[in-house]
Structure 1
């Protein structure tokens, strides 16, 4: 996925921008507008939860992936990172990241290890206008992604959102249904893990 010019490309192993993580969604929108110059409609945070097989850093790294529920309107049955929208109640992006990982997996973020390139996308849906006509609504979104470690525990999925989870190695990605943009983010997380 090509990153638009208004978002700086991050080298592998980029340290976490703590100032950015302490921003609210509103502060982020003002400081980092979309390519059109308008604020993003939606700010999303995503976590590449990293684990090493057998608990040893020398072993093959694995990343936690969640399979979207079959009834999801966007990308049903497709694997993704634990992620979600930053809510107005979230005081900071960091709070949103920790909350989303907990809500979607039942696990706690132990540490934020690295910042990955953002994923920029738009969503479209049809709604009915005031005069009964069909209206297409398009929203811009940016997903800020981080490599994290999580506390040990049992994964507890929200059945409304995800149907299964797996700890996938980079070799496992070929056999999983993942969007190209998400695959790029996951591969960057594996690159970071390999560089450590």
Structure 2
């Protein structure tokens, strides 16, 4: 699971929270310097964890089959190939998932609960529609990413689901980032008009 992406999705949820719940202070709170620190912090926080996990995997003995039934060298399928006790490796993996996936997701949920409360208090229907529209792209990406990642990481191990795991992992590592520009661009009116012309003509 991309740890940096989980953190960035949480940062984006906070951005939406400030924009909708505290719009008058948005430019003051989400200033350029603070945004840069949030993005750089999201990238840098994951580096030592990635290095530690890589070292941990390299210290495991692989004395059986070296055929990885996966599209890439993710930690869970590599642990399946190890011929030593991987209990502590799995404990570490679950701790990392808790820190870099569950905790950011909890922050996202809290942000959206507050956003929904604020939106429901609005008396203007166009205002409510605009607020929900602001969050729609982010919610779509969240659903695609966390939906597929959760199915892979929070399931019971089963060889029957190996192929399913491969395609779900492909979804959150390749397809979701590939569709991100499309999803976020659909909020732009000019892009929507150009797409309609492309698909249905004038």
Instruction: Establish whether TM, by shorter chain, passes 0.5.
Output: no
Q: Which one has the bigger strand percentage?
A: 1
Rg comparison, structure with higher value = 2
Q: Which has the higher contact order (CA 8 A, sep 6+)?
A: 1
**Which one has a larger percent helix, Structure 1 or Structure 2?**
2
